[in-house]
Amino acid sequence: MSFHHEQLQCLIKKNINNFSRLSPDVIVNHILPHLDNETLIALSSVSTEFRHLINNNDDLWRKICTSTWPSSLRPMLSHIISKFLGGYRSFFSDVFPSIHYRNNPPPPPPVTRFIYAFDVSLHGEQECKPLFTSLQIQRIETEEEYYLPRPINFYKRNLNFIHVKIEECEEYLEEKFKLNCVVIEPYRKRAGSLFHWSCKLVSVKQAFSRVEVVYETVMPGLWEFYTMMVKCEVKVTCFWEDEKEDTLYVRSIKFAMEDMKGKPLLGKHAAIVLLNAIENGERKKK
């Protein structure tokens, strides 16, 4: 059974007396780690006592983040998260909600560095080992006006097979395939979720031994140079191992940004758009 945030709060308030009879150790070690993200958020907002137990428990937030975004287990990303003012709790509060984009882009520094964290999984199997995780660093020289960044490609052989027959592949992936993409700006110690597990894919295209899964999202652009909205596209390419049945695996991920007419963004303009999403995007919990 699923509840909206307000319904969860009401349900928890009705049972708050039962919770209060338990010792803090039991709550922290045996109850909180088994609650999902939305329930923890609702629980932290109904009582000062629970807000203290939840918000000050960095181990709890670390477990939540690593289970939701397996790529955060990577040493480089975990080191960056540790520099956030509130550690994993701050990272979670930045990334878990959906971003409602505003059109007030901040100016980027002369050199901007973004870290992209990708996680690919199958619906209903997020607790298992993910199909694919990847971190990629993009360095943008924002002073170079005509610098045109190439699409980011990730090539990594992955042996976590998707067991699906070739003739059933497109329908299966449309139903099961899930992508999560988080962009981090380490200088400002901020992050945002470009694609959440709940995002639906745009298309699945199959050609011989290759399958391409495409995700798209739009955000405010720079109307002086592009259309009012620009498109962020992630293309995940899968292959069959030796063209055999039941051996589909994720091979690469390509990330690109362009306006609604297909014009690629200059590097410094892409940096402005992404910083706008990270810093000014209004977070809305689903």
Of 35, 33, 45, 50, residue with least CA distance to 9: 45
Sheet with 248-259: strands ordered across: 152-155, 248-259, 229-240, 210-220, 203-207
User: Is residue 85 a contact partner of residue 263, using CB atoms and an 8 Å limit?
Assistant: no
Helix or strand run (H / E) with residue 280: helix 267-280
| pLDDT tens string 227-243 | 888 888 999 999 888 76
Q: What does the domain layout of the chain look like in residue ranges?
A: 5-56, 98-284
Residue listed under structure tokens 């695996």: 249
* Residue 101, number of CB atoms within 10 A of its CB: 17
User: What is the residue-level pLDDT of the chain in tens, covering all 286 positions?
Assistant: 344 445 545 555 555 556 666 677 777 776 777 776 667 766 766 667 777 777 778 888 888 888 888 888 888 999 999 888 888 888 887 887 655 555 555 566 667 788 999 999 888 765 556 788 888 888 776 555 444 445 556 665 666 888 888 888 899 999 999 999 999 988 888 888 888 888 889 999 988 788 999 999 888 877 778 888 888 899 999 988 876 777 888 888 888 888 888 888 888 788 888 888 887 766 655 4
Phi, psi of 141 (to 5 degrees): -85, 95
What number of residues does the chain have? 286
- For the question of whether the overall pTM of this predicted structure is more than 0.75, the answer is no
